[in-house]
Amino acid sequence: MISIGGLTGFWIIALLTLHGADVGETIGSSLNEPDVPFPPACPTAQNLAAICHQGQGRPRYLASFFPRSRVSHFRRRGNAINRLESWYSLCCSDQIAQQNDQILCCAQQAWKQTLSQFCTEEYSTMTGAYVCCGDSGDARWACFNSELPNPNYDPTPGYTAPPIPVEPGFTFHAC
């Protein structure tokens, strides 16, 4: 016969075990998770100057930033941010566009292409994909452009981004 005390102890242990289990992104941040503010905001006329002139003040996520395991979803986010910042540097460099409306068009294309590629990478894993990746068309972009950690592309005080190579794969189509 099982005593009430033994059954209560069993349930307490079971609940503590489940509470500490890693079940993907449904559990809030733990102290060991890297901080990768995501998603990036859609470029607008209001944040374009910050995108172009304060890029070196926003974080980049090198491989050494991440623990070796259990953070692949953060690593994919960091890679997307790095890719986007790389492509923003192309848009803002006068190599692609010289007028503000074309720079904005380029930055918006870079943003959409980056997040599309991010979603492709998310679906190539055995884990659950980022929630916005389940949407398509304008609903996807609206989802990614909500609940933004840095909508104005403000730089991180005292931070200077390490040099990273320009990510291949972006082609600007004039608007």
Written as six digits, the tokens of 169 are 């794969």
Residue 74 and residue 36 in contact, taking contact as beta carbons nearer than 8 Å = yes
50: confidence class by pLDDT, cuts 50, 70, 90: very high
Mean of all residue pLDDT scores within the chain: 82
Residue 107 and residue 91 in contact, taking contact as beta carbons nearer than 8 Å = yes
74: confidence class by pLDDT, cuts 50, 70, 90: confident
What percent of the chain shows pLDDT beyond 90?
A: 58
End-to-end CA gap in the chain:
76
Residue 54 and residue 154 in contact, taking contact as beta carbons nearer than 8 Å = yes
Radius of gyration of the chain (CA): 20
pTM, whole model, 2 decimals? Answer: 0.78
